[in-house]
Structure 1
Amino acid sequence: MKYFFFLISLGSLQAQSLILSKDNSHVSFGAGTTSYFGEMSPYRTFYKGIYKTLSSNFNISYAVDASEHWGNKFDFSVNNLRGDDYQYSKGKNAALFHRNLHFKNTVWEVAASKMYFFNPTYSHQTRRRPEFLFYGTLGVGVFYHNPKARDVYQGSGKLGDWVSLHQVGSAGKNYSLIQPLIPIGFGFRKKISRKLDFKFEGLYKFTFTDYLDDVSDEPYMIASPSSKLNNRSTEPFDALHGNNRLPLLAEYNLQTNNKIIPQVGNRGIRNVLSSVDSFITSNVSLVYWLDKRIR
């Protein structure tokens, strides 16, 4: 907890410096893609997770070019995450297909970051800013999240309702919905007019939680009201899309005498590469300069 409050305090100081700055400031509005890594998108096949878990993000940013090589920025982002054992592993990984978990999660994030400009910005003469500006960025932030999944699908009618997994306790362990994170990445700006720039930014967002997907290394729960969303390996239908799982279950020898074998052991895998969840974002934005000296 001390480390968590240190991150928040550092971010608060950074935000204050941004608010007090007026010169060479700009705002941007953008959207882009998000890809998640965790128990439903293993790090060892990260290239697959980039497109298998592809979703969206939206971003508003306020930034100040403080000097020729350094800048500060404050971001508010909405990141949509998703994962699905059925789609990720169908025909490839029997264990994940048998597990049959899925989730969606909206991550509401605020972050304060430093930027290092690889080429000079002419920060005191904004109208002379370079046509192209490349930079690296590192910051601290905090986010709120609440993973959800569809309830059991019975094979006919509409799909199940979206259920808060944290609320029903399907992970078998309580965890905080407010967490710190560290965004690190790179970007570039392209000047398109006196007051407007085009910006691209790619970020890796390292979190300190293993529950963006509501799955960690806890063992499967014994029968209880919340256990139906804890162990979904015996569901004959894919709850997210309504697909019939029985043919592939039989192919994987996970079904005998029309009775599906329940998965046992732990729900997730905890090791050096998957002890925490993370996600990457790519974002394109339109930048508007607030400096009144630009003519």
Structure 2
Amino acid sequence: MIRLFSLCILITLLATAPTQAQFWFLGQNAKNASPKNPFKAHSSFSFGAGSSTYLGDISPAMTLMDVGGKALRWNAGVQYTRHFKKHVSIQGSFTYIRIAGDDNYFDPAGRFEPSYGRNLHFRTDMQELSLIGIYEILGNEENLPKRRTLSPYVYVGLSGLYFNPQARKPVTDLDANGNPIQKPFEDWQTYKNEGVEYSKITGAIPFGFGIRYKLNHSFDIGFDFGYRISFSDYLDDVTDNRYDFVQSRLANFQPLPPFALRNSEQYAANTLADRRPYLLQVAQGNTSGNPPLIAKGSDQYFTTQIRLIYHLKNKIDCPPLPR
């Protein structure tokens, strides 16, 4: 009886084993065949505003701690970002940027006295179109409500710039109280202060980093820091050739452009500071006599922005209806 029972169990096991193996392989095949869900691309719009700082021949990098705060200006822009991979996004943006610099921001008795004596200044408004590639360090989430609370990123790209440097003509009149009357800003390129007529269109290489903070399902607030290396040395209408250009013209008794040399003006055209005490020191030989500081290479600038970011919702993918 026991032998018969054992024989029945053995036959049952042998009969069911191929069937179980068949279903196991079917399960494995089905598992391997199921495709991995692809990342669903999505988009976002943002608006930002913040500060802009110029670095160039009027404010070289070494002077940033001395006059960086005085030269601080503003920027504002809009951005469209396509998050098409988990770690990679592409962004197009338009930014309006103002930069400025003034030799009269320096201390006439300080270490940058030669720059103060040069007495140049400028203001430039730039329109910047940029296309940049963004690397999302922690990655994007496919489901927008499940995106990370903090999302840091780095980026690099290419920008096109239209710029138009401006400055003020020298003070020539005083009001009834003896105060200098300031002239308005004028376009400065037409004066050819270094004997050349440069283009107002150039490019730049933007790079930087940022971070987004999730506010709710659709909105983030972000911070962005961007540095730009332009392809032009004329964003400020001044290049590192200005000093040599002026000295060469004077040595050869050649006429100078109207505003290439402004070190003898009694009032600073932009700040209206009284420069007569300094000019008296120059006449007495109590200044260093050194050439002003310059920045070799093209002009640069950096920006900061606080951004409000809106994430567009993806279309819901519905399965096809049965036929």
Structure 1 and Structure 2 fold alike (TM over 0.5): yes
Cα RMSD (Å) of the superposition?
A: 2.5
Deviations 1:10-35 (A, max 9, x none): xxxxxxxxxxxx94101101100000
SS at match of 1:229: coil
Aligned residues: 262
Q: Which has the larger radius of gyration?
A: 2
> Quick one: which of 227, 230, 235 aligns to 1:207?
230
Q: Which residue of 2 aligns with 1:13?
A: none
Q: Which residue of 2 aligns with 1:8?
A: none
Q: Counterpart of 1:82 in structure 2: which amino acid?
A: A
Mapped to 1, the partners of 2:66 and 2:45 lie a distance apart of 34
Runs of 4+ in 1 over 4 A off after TM superposition: 221-226
Alignment of 1:99-118 (within 5 A): 99-118=118-137
Mapped to 2, the partners of 1:55 and 1:227 lie a distance apart of 29
Q: Counterpart of 2:132 in structure 1: which amino acid?
A: S
Deviation at 1:142, TM superposition (A): 0.6
Q: Which residue of 2 aligns with 1:231?
A: 261
Alignment of 1:134-149 (within 5 A): 134-149=152-167
Structure 2 unmatched runs, 5+: 1-39, 176-180, 317-323
Asked whether the 8 Å contact 1:104–1:148 carries over to 2, the reply is yes
CA gap of 1:175–1:114, structure 2 versus 1, over 3 A, is same
TM-score, scaled to structure 2: 0.75
Deviation at 1:155, TM superposition (A): 4.8
Asked whether the 8 Å contact 2:104–2:271 carries over to 1, the reply is no
Mapped to 2, the partners of 1:126 and 1:85 lie a distance apart of 50
Q: Counterpart of 2:225 in structure 1: which amino acid?
A: G
Mapped to 2, the partners of 1:155 and 1:86 lie a distance apart of 20
CA gap of 1:49–1:184, structure 2 versus 1, over 3 A, is farther
Asked whether the 8 Å contact 1:37–1:43 carries over to 2, the reply is yes
Moved more, 44-53 or 54-63: 44-53
Q: Taking every aligned residue pair, what percent have the same amino acid on both sides?
A: 27
Alignment of 1:266-281 (within 5 A): 269=294, 274-281=296-303
Q: Does 1:249 align with 2:279?
A: yes
Mapped to 2, the partners of 1:37 and 1:25 lie a distance apart of 34
Asked whether the 8 Å contact 1:195–1:288 carries over to 2, the reply is yes
Q: Counterpart of 2:298 in structure 1: which amino acid?
A: V
CA gap of 1:225–1:237, structure 2 versus 1, over 3 A, is farther
Mapped to 1, the partners of 2:70 and 2:194 lie a distance apart of 23
TM-score, scaled to structure 1: 0.82
Mapped to 2, the partners of 1:68 and 1:48 lie a distance apart of 43
Deviations 1:49-107 (A, max 9, x none): 53231000001000011111111100100110000001134332221111000000001
Deviations 1:149-179 (A, max 9, x none): 0111125143112121101212322211100
SS at match of 1:209: coil
Mapped to 2, the partners of 1:45 and 1:243 lie a distance apart of 20
